[in-house]
Amino acid sequence: MPVPAATPLVEKRPTDGPKTSHTQGSREKRLRLLSMRVLLLLLLLVIWQVASLGTAPFVLPSPGRVFDAWWSLVVTAGFWRDFGITFWRVLMGFALAAAIGVPLGVLLGANEKLGEFFDPVLTVVNTVSSSIWAIFALIWFGLSDWTTIFVVFMTAMPLILTNVWQGTRTVNADFVELAQTFRMSRLQVMLKIYLPTILPPFFAGARLAFGFGARVSLVAETLGASSGIGYRLRQAADLVQTDQVFAWTLTLVALMIAIESLVLKPLESRLFAWKKKAGGQ
């Protein structure tokens, strides 16, 4: 039975006027930010150039030299192979960490006794340094992809698990009660109340985990791989090809910035548009 509105109340929406000026303001701000970043980059390049003038190239190669080295690397197929294999190992370790960390975090969060019981394990895992995992991995997996994957996994998994676990504790009992009054199934409560609550802490944890994972993957590769960026870095270092070390490092930095600004930031602002920004705006 439809209920036609007899006397719809009129409520005006804020007009579009201030909104357009707001977007204009934010574009101006973005432009200013961009020019500031470019300026910073130029400044760093100048400092680098000046510093390299008085030093031997194997200590600090000049920007031009590093660019030449990078260019001659990029055109080889081997560069992309190493790049790809490292990326694949990090992604693999990260995916495994998420696939295991999320359900485990939910389980420990949902069951208080279980959580209490396993709490110390997490502390221990968190205190073991990634280099130690790398050594263990070397013993267990030898020179294989799994060495790196394992190290990334052991670094990322506890981070994701902890964040998801803490996230389940912030689930609002009032909301669960609300779902109960509508007689929602357990699965629906999981999907409609728990999941949206866990998503922000999961995202924060996953972001950290990916960053750490990417960094420790290099350590693992220098110790236990015969391919990948970490391996090439060590090779270049052994041969005192400092310009190559720089080239690889810059590639990595560029990659992380690209992932951050092209994937994570947009994803975050899409997923969490509902969040109230602290400090207004």
Partner 1 sequence: MASVKVQCVSKWFERRDGESLHVLQNIDLEAPEKTITAIVGASGCGKSTLLNIVAGLIEPDRGCLFLNGVKASEFKDWRSMTYMFQEDRLLPWRTAAQNVAFGLEAAGVGRAERKERVAETLELVGLSQFADVFPHELSGGMRSRVALARSLVTRPTLLLMDEPFSKLDPTIREQMHAEVLRIAELMSMTILFVTHDVEEAVVLASRVVVLNPRPGRVRETRTIDLPYPRDRTSAEVQQEARSLRESL
Which residues of the chain form contacts with partner 1 (CB under 8 A)?
1-13, 174-175, 177-184, 188, 192-193, 196, 273-276
Nearer to partner 1, 127 or 186 (CB): 186
Task: State how far the alpha carbon of 259 is from the alpha carbons of 8, 168, 221, 272, in Å.
Answer: 48, 28, 21, 18
Write out the two tokens for 194.
Answer: 């728990």
Cα–Cα distance for residue pair 139/150, rounded to 1 Å: 12
Q: How far is the CB of 192 from partner 1 (least distance, A)?
A: 7
Task: State the minimum distance, in angstroms, from the CB of residue 278 to partner 1.
Answer: 11
CB of 4 to partner 1, least distance (A): 8
Tokens coding 15 = 């007009």
CA pair distance 231, 244, nearest whole angstrom: 12
| Shortest distance, position 83 Cβ to partner 1, whole Å | 37
Helix ranges (DSSP H) in the chain: 17-53, 63-74, 77-110, 112-127, 130-141, 145-169, 173-181, 186-189, 195-224, 229-238, 242-259, 265-271
Which CB, 7 or 127, lies closer to partner 1?
A: 7
- Least CB distance from residue 273 to partner 1, whole Å? 7
